[in-house]
A and B are shown apart, each in its own frame.
Chain A
């Protein structure tokens, strides 16, 4: 940051009054940055379909038909539950500029434990107690699995992208070992766990087929929003994410903060597995990997790492994914085509971001006043 930019920014901070037009401009700005990439990606995806000699209009029509119409929206809503929880977990980490990319392993390990212990726990304990216990187990499994990357990052600064990916691969294999070994359903030959009876799954929201895991997901999103924006932990986290040096300068215990961020992120991702297994699947197969996290990442960014902002994007993607499953089969393409759409969204997002250029990803989420407060002592030290 040059001096000129610094002073002009501080000037803007003092002049900027919360006028209505400024607010409208900001809202427009947010809309353009968030929605235009999605639209561009859908258009580019359509062109790609044309190139593969498929009709994009029938494809997107089919997506709408089997993702929203005739009660299909309930399937989309069911998919939202794990996606929202993973999004919340990723938001916590990314806000702190910590790249927890081990979501697949954290999810699958928690899923294996829930589906392995679930059937016997729901029989021995009152249903509500068993559910709470299983959610806690899942959360703890996800959290514990981040400890090694957390400690390595906190003490040695080891790149967490590498460590979370490696521990994730280990967790995926471990989940398979558990499912094929101790959790194997003895009555079938397929490597899978015992199936939870339908009556022992999470109850639905009255009047719908949607299980109440979705409510838990919404609650978690609000808790994350509150924790990030209204607690001192959230403030320290955001300062560290914006500028670790400044955070240390202000006496933030970085090591402790890094570890707690990892644990929170892993806990939320673990919860998503409990919601998905107890609400939707009821069992886990070996080598099952829904890869929720890969597709959630772009929307976490599109929402500017805002835990509430991510909700509409996840809703949109749930429809796209639920409808896309059938629509890709309809036009005789592998479902992996949806990955292409997600990648296109990411790509257009970075390009739009570059065109806008005033808010680089993951850096400037601080208000201008706070930024000034952070810079003042540093500037004073430099001149003094």
Chain B
């Protein structure tokens, strides 16, 4: 009887850690993938997401470290991400340069510059931030497994969910959403309707940078509480995959991000349950599941026809 109770307790703790871990690792993915979904809709393929996340992560860490509040960190991350995406806006949207080449440059620069700045600022030490305060939701927090995992989160998580809803609404039922889609599907039509393709894409790319910066900042400030060089470890690329798999739908971005967050944090959860799987095996899970998903859903993955193509008025 008591052993049954104990195992019940372990499974409860296990599921709590799975869900909480999924959220902790999934929220940065969610913000970043949401950003990518916006710019992909508008026809800008942002391969530099990884670099923008790194800039956001470092700026966010600095903001939270010196500003002593997570909100300054988030703001700094948003600013850094948006500033980085200005390169993308000027070089790719305005000048029509190759989006993939510029994206690779931004990723390389993000890794190099943040690592150099971190070294210049802190030397070989990696200071930690304190734990982030949570905003438990009354009543709901008393639920058995979900209470501790879902409803005792930092306020930014709830705000993030609200942002997903807003983006979904903008996509579905506003003129801005329509313009964004036209910029990716048929930019000529948008141009003929009297809306500037360049402006639409510029705003989309800027928003993407801001979201990627926010995702990076959440990663360093909340999820990790520390900034180490190359902290993103390919999460920017996972975000691109999430955006492509969800075909630009904000709700799907949320679901896929949580799923990949769970996969990323599964090693820790399994350890809590007493299962010791090698971290290398567990690390493979998200990527293997992506490849499996791509093989299964390959026919239905859809990209806007004008993706990664610069728009030149009058050109055919």
Contact = CB atoms under 8 A, between A and B. Distances in A.
B108 A343 contact: yes
A173 B112 contact: no
A294 B108 CA distance: 8
Give the one of B112, B299, B303 with max A CB within 10 A.
B112
Given A159-B244, A337-B116, A354 B95 contact: yes
Contacts of A162: 237, 240-241, 244, 290, 294
B315 A1 contact: yes
Given A169-B287, A170-B291, A346 B98 contact: no
Given A166-B241, A169-B234, A338-B112, A333 B298 contact: no
B284 A339 contact: no
Nearest to B243: A162
A171 to B, nearest CB: 9
Interface stretch (A116-124, A174-182, A244-252, A269-277): A174-182
Nearest to A3: B316
Given A334-B116, A350-B91, A2 B299 contact: no
A353 B97 contact: yes
Contacts of B237: 162, 165-166, 169
A360 B47 CA distance: 19
Interface string B242-271: 001000000000000000000000000000
A336 B281 contact: no
Contacts of A338: 112
Q: Main SS of chain B's interface residues? A: helix
Contacts, number: 135
B98 A361 contact: yes
Given A162-B244, A360-B98, A156 B112 contact: no
Interface in A342-374: 342-344, 346-347, 349-351, 353-354, 360-362
B56 to A, nearest CB: 17
Contacts of B287: 166-167, 169-170, 173
Contacts of A361: 98, 101
Contacts of B109: 339-340, 343-344, 347
Contact of B294 (A158, A169, A349): A158
A358 to B, nearest CB: 14
A158 B116 contact: no
The 9 closest A-B pairs by CB, nearest first: A339-B112, A343-B109, A336-B115, A340-B112, A346-B105, A156-B298, A343-B108, A173-B284, A334-B119
17 contacts: A152-B294, A158-B301, A166-B287, A166-B291, A169-B284, A170-B287, A170-B288, A177-B278, A177-B280, A180-B278, A333-B119, A337-B112, A340-B116, A346-B104, A347-B109, A351-B91, A353-B97
Interface of B: 47, 87, 91, 95-98, 100-102, 104-106, 108-109, 111-113, 115-116, 118-120, 229, 234, 237, 240-241, 244, 278, 280-281, 283-284, 287-288, 290-291, 294-295, 298-299, 301, 303, 314-316
